[in-house]
Amino acid sequence: MAASARMIYLDHNATTPLDPRVLDVMLPFFTKDYGNAASTSHPFGWRARSAVDDARAVIAQAIHAAPDHDLVFTSGATESINLAFKGLRPEPGKNHVVTSRIEHKAVLDSCRNLEDNGAEVTYVGVDEAGRVDLKQLAAAIGDRTYLVSIMLANNETGTVQDMVAIAELCRDKGVVLHTDATQALGKIDVDLDKLDIGLASFSGHKLYGPKGVGALYVRGDLRHRMQPQIHGGGHEYGLRSGTLNVPGIVGFAEALDICTSEQPSESLHIMSLRMQLHDVITSQLDGVRLNGDLSGCLPGTLNLSFAYTDADSILLEMPDIALSSGSACTSAKAEPSHVLRAMGVGDELARASIRFGIGRFNTEEEIAYAARRCIDAVTRLRAMSPLVA
């Protein structure tokens, strides 16, 4: 069968292939317009600076931000998250941060770093679909709280948070809201002005752009409270020194511009593929648990647990399909997913979970083939399992 003659990529939550249209706009900045954007004395630098300014405007428009000062370019979402957490100066007398138990490790590890330096952190729970418990969140925010960080969409389950309610709560409590919008950007609408987000982190390689480039959104009124974590030259309004990755920034903007213009039709197509995959698998296999909520998640994310199996064995049975058993940053560890645990999934089912990440270039034929391969793999493994009656 044609689809099985090559590797099928279904791990778009980990990273996405570079869209050829993005590569086309990047190439001149490697070979022709290769100037340093900080070089102000010659046309090479001017062209590089102009390209960065144009890219900043495109990204700002897509997320409804001010184009001149609200975006700080970084090496990716992890750096952006670190800058948000370590760069935001607490207000006098405040030393408390609130986050959720399902955050990406970049957020959780940054929180632990703050704890090591004397801050207090509260980790609120989620329901069985992976949505933050708003009552817990409201109760956790106190007089000493200065920062709340809740991801917009989860990287393992795709569950999208009720950020309107969360932002309203933070606004009423007078605390800064940071969101890790890495998985959401380019897949769903991200309107930071409407949500009144204070800080937001992004990465280019999750939306068919290049690796090694990202951004931190800093709302204008917070700029005076931010301190740099990388020093040397005062680039990016003094918040992130270092020679700008001009090809990456140009590619990031082009990738997001394509996503923004094609999102309505693309989301429907990808969602259709996800439902096809879900319906075929669940109609032919018993003991399959959906981790998340099909009506409130990213279009291309499907996380399923298969009882009486384990994820590693399933993946070994399907070497021609690129899949993941969890976050790309933690899948090398043998521990069950902290996200699924927080959702109340038992360790055995958590270890038997597969994340399907469907993307722009996947076809119906590929999805049909992946579904059959998954069904066959689980059926074979269960036939060998002493736990199956």
What single-letter amino acid sits at 126? V
**Rounded Cα distance, 336 and 253, in Å:** 36
3-state secondary structure of 324: strand
DSSP E strands in the chain: the ranges are: 8-9, 71-74, 96-100, 120-124, 145-149, 176-180, 199-203, 214-218, 288-290, 301-306, 321-322, 353-357
Query: Who contacts 138 (Cβ-Cβ below 8 Å, separation ≥6)?
Result: 169, 173
What single-letter amino acid sits at 314? I
Token couple for 63: 């997320």
* Active-site residue set: 329
3-state secondary structure of 362: coil
**Rounded Cα distance, 176 and 190, in Å:** 18
3-state secondary structure of 120: strand
**Rounded Cα distance, 232 and 241, in Å:** 5
**356 Ramachandran zone, left/alpha/beta (phi>0; psi -120 to 50):** beta
Closest CA relative to residue 36, chosen from 256, 249, 218: 249
Query: Who contacts 103 (Cβ-Cβ below 8 Å, separation ≥6)?
Result: 111, 149, 150, 151, 180
What's the full length of the chain, in residues?
Answer: 389
Number of H helices, E strands in the chain: 13, 12
Closest CA relative to residue 196, chosen from 213, 221, 216, 214: 221
**Rounded Cα distance, 146 and 98, in Å:** 9
Q: Which helix (H) or strand (E) element contains residue 116?
A: helix 105-116
Virtual torsion, Cα 65, 71, 76, 80, nearest 10 deg: -100
**Rounded Cα distance, 128 and 152, in Å:** 17
